[in-house]
Structure 1
Amino acid sequence: MHPHANAPRASLKRRLATLIYDALVALAIYMAVGALFFALFGILVTNGMVDTLGQEHAVDVLQHSAFWTLVNELFKLTGVMAFFCYFWQKSGQTIGMRAWRLKLQNTDGSLISWQQGVVRTLTSAFGLMTLTMLLSSDKRALHDKWSHSEMVELTLEQNRARMGS
């Protein structure tokens, strides 16, 4: 049996507080991945591997191309999704979740898989789906149910033990 299999499910208040913390981290990752994309895109434009559409600078090419704008956004969102999925499958906790003593897990207490993380991020509506907890008797939001996972609240001791491991 996993150590947190019987931990109580997290409250909406704690989940929303975690969402605020993690949104700030996600924004920083979104920006960093965007800078990486732009650097790579600039190299492609400079080396003639991308049609410049008659524009002089890479930023102008990006702004005038719906295709490259879409690729840019998908690249950044994939980077954010990878951040969440990595931490969820590695430890069950993001930075914000550690601060608020929450853990994402399967209902048996085991860590979720990459596939579950992808389902969770794609169905979370940027965290807004958390509000569907208000309609649930079991303190699970729709994206919890769709990803076959649960968000639990750890005691201070359990969280400290996890941070030391």
Structure 2
Amino acid sequence: MVKANNTKTPQLILEEQYQACERASFFKRLGAYIYDLFAIGAVLMLATVFALLVVVILAKIAVIDLSLYKDSADYLGQSPLFLTYLCAVIIGFYAYFWSKAGQTIGMKAWRLRVQNSDGSNISFTQSLIRMATSAFGLGTFMALLKGRNAFQDLWAECEVVVLTKELSNWKGFKGMGFMDEDKNK
């Protein structure tokens, strides 16, 4: 009779550890959102500088006319396209970090991670569903309930968990995929 090999691979062990994490409370999520506001503010400032540069260049080559506006900032302030651009930047920020790393900067600080129930990263589509159903953060109030899943988590079929200190500091998780191999081996 041949004995079965019961050794677990490091990937399987890690997946089990991610699956065992408890769901994040409302207050931890709120803390991460507050941290993310600072990061989003910085990203929006850079996006605005880029938009101002584009407007100035387009005005210099006579593609747009700024004579009806006080300056290029006034032009941007009255442009619905600029508001759409800023919304796309915010959505892109969250969708990128959630789908690639499972964490934004604020979530990293609070040791939170958005993931599928098997511990894998959510897809880009799931992150867009989370954004569309979050109702500007109001869906997070559902995390006050016993199950601690927010409305957007239910719709996107994912969960936000609190990582252990070991998982939070694990150096093998590069943030660009669920299981990045160690390149130094």
Q: In the alignment, does 2:42 pair up with 1:33?
A: no
- Assess if the C-alpha contact under 8 Å between 2:22 and 2:162 holds in 1: yes
**Alpha-carbon distance in structure 1 between the residues aligned to 2:24 and 2:139:** 15
| SS across alignment from 1:74 | helix
**Alpha-carbon distance in structure 2 between the residues aligned to 1:53 and 1:146:** 47
Write the letter of the residue equivalent to 2:73: V
Cα deviation for residue 162 of structure 1 reads 5.1
Matches within 5 A, 1:99-114: 99-114=109-124
Write the letter of the residue equivalent to 1:32: L
Paired residue for 1:78, among 71, 88, 91? 88
Which structure 2 segments of 5+ residues have no match?
1-11, 175-185
Write the letter of the residue equivalent to 1:80: I
- Aligned in 2, Cα 1:149/1:95: closer, same or farther, shift over 3 Å? same
Q: Which residue of 1 aligns with 2:27?
A: 13
**Please, what is the CA RMSD of the aligned residues?**
2.1
Q: Which residue of 2 aligns with 1:93?
A: 103
Calculate percent identity across the aligned residue pairs: 34
**Alpha-carbon distance in structure 2 between the residues aligned to 1:162 and 1:98:** 13
Paired residue for 2:56, among 22, 31, 42? 42
Tell me the number of residue pairs that the alignment of Structure 1 and Structure 2 aligns: 160
Structure having the larger proportion of residues in helix = 1
- Assess if the C-alpha contact under 8 Å between 1:120 and 1:147 holds in 2: yes
- TM-score, normalised relative to structure 2: 0.77
**Alpha-carbon distance in structure 2 between the residues aligned to 1:55 and 1:100:** 44
**Alpha-carbon distance in structure 2 between the residues aligned to 1:100 and 1:39:** 36
Paired residue for 2:140, among 130, 142, 165? 130
Paired residue for 2:68, among 54, 69, 79? 54
Cα deviation for residue 122 of structure 1 reads 2.5
| SS across alignment from 1:17 | helix
Rg bigger for which structure?
2
- Assess if the C-alpha contact under 8 Å between 1:53 and 1:61 holds in 2: no
| SS across alignment from 1:44 | helix
- TM-score, normalised relative to structure 1: 0.85
Which structure 1 segments of 5+ residues have no match?
none
